[in-house]
Structure 1
């Protein structure tokens, strides 16, 4: 994987072979088990992480102590907050946690700065990923400000469901995902269950009628595949 990981990222495949070699030699493949704090608020961003396997959840705590979900980093993606912090020489203002066992490439600041300065293709890769995630964050802000919570919850359940149409998350976790109170999530889930859309089990939610949830989510245009 150390020799092949560059090919996992579309934007890096176009790099000249000498730049690919520099990127490989100046980086290291790292692993972290589920639950590991990848970065924390106030910590210095020393490495750009490109995710090879697993997911990392990025959250921020409000002044009241409530945890608010920002976004997920999936395999084949980089973390926009890390990119921003490295470009601006700022410390992290949020926390990233491994939701699963993860494998990633760590590109140290020296290598990152060198390639951003000398390689137009690498620079395009960095800023294209940054631009996509910023657009996602503006969409998140729009959802929080303008969309009803039942619509947002329906959309999030569809996003989180596995191949067996099961969401393994407590009411507290879902509340954190959507930046609201557990009681609000519990009330809406009870309504979804009354409609026959879901079944609530211990620590998970079974989607019985994904089409019903999809209709609610698409009616307000929030569900994005």
Structure 2
């Protein structure tokens, strides 16, 4: 089992290499936490108490419509990442507007909100790290929202199918709907159309890509007006 210093060196080497005096405080103030798959990390209305840096695993951050129960994926937090909503809530003092769930087992460094504020004050390096990550993740969220608002359903489903680069997509229609920001019934209808024109082959729990070039072309096609 690696000690915390070795884990920092493996997953966040820039912290070990940096000579900023506040970085030592940051690492000493952090504790190692493990979250099992399915664990709710935060939920709408909850107060942000910790800043997390993910070492291993994936946290999915999603919105849920209160009236329909439909979930919309905002982003994933993976190894080497921090959560943009967590950063936003810590900086603003607001509660979480969305839900975070460990998609698979997660190992992370956690520091209290008090330690986070102190590190922001002490360390120019940490301030730059926090705001660069915040800016990058925020840009990704805006890009995803633009996709949901401005792209056609066909484009979003095609992108979801092509995202992994695999020929066989081991995902249910519900999972594809979640990633595409639409309803399962809509995805099923469009996938059936894709199958009818020879783009994919539908099987239980999987979608086999038959004509990747057609899917790529559909992704790049501008929405008709």
The DSSP-based 3-state class of the residue aligned with 2:109 is: strand
Q: Does 1:56 align with 2:45?
A: no
The DSSP-based 3-state class of the residue aligned with 1:57 is: strand
Q: 1:121 to 1:13 in 2, by over 3 A?
A: same
Q: Does 1:35 align with 2:38?
A: yes
| Mapped partners of 2:167, 2:54: distance in 1 | 25
User: Corresponding residue for 1:98?
Assistant: 102
Query: What is the CA distance between 1:77 and its match in structure 2?
Result: 0.7
Contact between 2:199 and 2:215, CA under 8 Å: does it hold in 1? yes
The DSSP-based 3-state class of the residue aligned with 1:103 is: strand
Select which of 177, 184, 192 maps to 2:179. 177
Query: What is the CA distance between 1:188 and its match in structure 2?
Result: 1.3
RMSD over equivalenced CA pairs, Å = 2.2
Listed one character per residue, the Cα deviations across residues 119-139 of structure 1 (whole Å, up to 9, x for unaligned) are: 111001101111011111211
Listed one character per residue, the Cα deviations across residues 127-152 of structure 1 (whole Å, up to 9, x for unaligned) are: 11110111112112211221111111
Contact between 1:11 and 1:125, CA under 8 Å: does it hold in 2? no
Higher alpha-carbon Rg: 2
Query: What is the CA distance between 1:168 and its match in structure 2?
Result: 3.0
| Mapped partners of 1:138, 1:13: distance in 2 | 32
Q: Does 1:83 align with 2:122?
A: no
Q: 1:201 to 1:11 in 2, by over 3 A?
A: farther
The DSSP-based 3-state class of the residue aligned with 2:136 is: helix
| Mapped partners of 2:108, 2:213: distance in 1 | 35
Runs of 4+ in structure 1 displaced over 4 angstroms? Answer: none
Q: 1:101 to 1:165 in 2, by over 3 A?
A: farther
Contact between 1:15 and 1:122, CA under 8 Å: does it hold in 2? no
Listed one character per residue, the Cα deviations across residues 37-90 of structure 1 (whole Å, up to 9, x for unaligned) are: 111111111111111112111111124232111111111111100110111111
User: Corresponding residue for 1:123?
Assistant: 127
The DSSP-based 3-state class of the residue aligned with 1:19 is: helix
Q: Does 1:156 align with 2:160?
A: yes
| Mapped partners of 1:69, 1:100: distance in 2 | 15
With normalisation by structure 2, the TM-score equals 0.87
With normalisation by structure 1, the TM-score equals 0.87
Q: Does 1:168 align with 2:143?
A: no
Contact between 1:6 and 1:20, CA under 8 Å: does it hold in 2? no
Count of aligned pairs: 219
Select which of 186, 189, 196 maps to 2:188. 186
Structure 1, unpaired ranges of 5+:
none
